[in-house]
Structure formats: structure tokens, C-alpha cells
Amino acid sequence: EVQLLESGGGFVPPGGSLRLSCAASGFTFSSYAMTWVRQAPGNGLEWVSAIDAPGDRSYTADSVKGRFTISRDNSKDTLYLQMNSLRAEDTAVYYCVNDYSNSRIYWGQGALVTVSS
């Protein structure tokens, strides 16, 4: 069974930093691209960043480019999102997503990040 467990969320003041982690199990982590998707309170889904299986190629949305960095450690089956220079508008639930295939897309339960003074 595929499991994705996010951690590292919490309260942070504007301008602060936070690193989210996503521990994966139930599949060969090193073979699949991974994605972060976020959802601000009461809002829709926003695709944030993705990284390919070996970790060589990534893409980050313009809204967070230059502030957020996606990475992975295939030896630990873990995905990361380093978030710097956080703003109030970054407040959201951050989901770790495994695009196993077009017919199997697995989501974690999400980690809440609150940016507030």
C-alpha cells in the first residue's frame, strides 16, 4: 500500500523558513517523479513543484520560484520542500503527491503551514 506522510508543518512568522518532508513507502520511491500541491484555506488546488525520479530535473511554479526548493533523497525514500522568505499567502495545506501513473495518483494527508506574526 502506497503511503505518503508529510511532516514539518507549523507556525512561522513572515520572512521565516520551514522545510517540509514527505516519507514514502509501499512503492519504489526512486523510480517515480514526485510533486507538491498546496491548498490555501477555502481555496482551490495549486500545483507548486515537481521533481523527476533521479532528482536531476525539477520545476517550480512562478508564485514560489526563488523562494521554494524541491529535493529528494532516494536513499531515505523522502521528498522535501524547503520554503524560504515565507509570506502570509503561503499559508496552506501542503500535499505530497506521487504520480505513480496516470491511473494511480497518490496523495498524502497534508501538512498545514501557517505564516503569521
Partner 1 sequence: EFVLTQSPATLSLSPGERATLSCRASQSVSNFLAWFQQKPGQPPRLLIYDASNRATGIPARFSGSGSGTDFTLTISSLEPEDFAVYYCQHRVNWPFTFGPGTKVDMK
Q: Which is nearer to partner 1, 13 or 44 (CB)?
A: 44
- Contact pattern from residue 2 through residue 41 relative to partner 1, giving x for each residue in contact according to CB under 8 A and a dash for the rest: ---------------------------------x-x----
Least Å from the CB of residue 26 to partner 1? 15
Q: What is the DSSP string of 65-114?
A: TTTEEEEEETTTTEEEEEE-S--GGG-EEEEEEEEEETTEEEE---EEEE
Binding residues vs partner 1 (CB under 8 A) = 35, 37, 44-47, 50, 59, 61, 95, 99, 102-105, 107-110
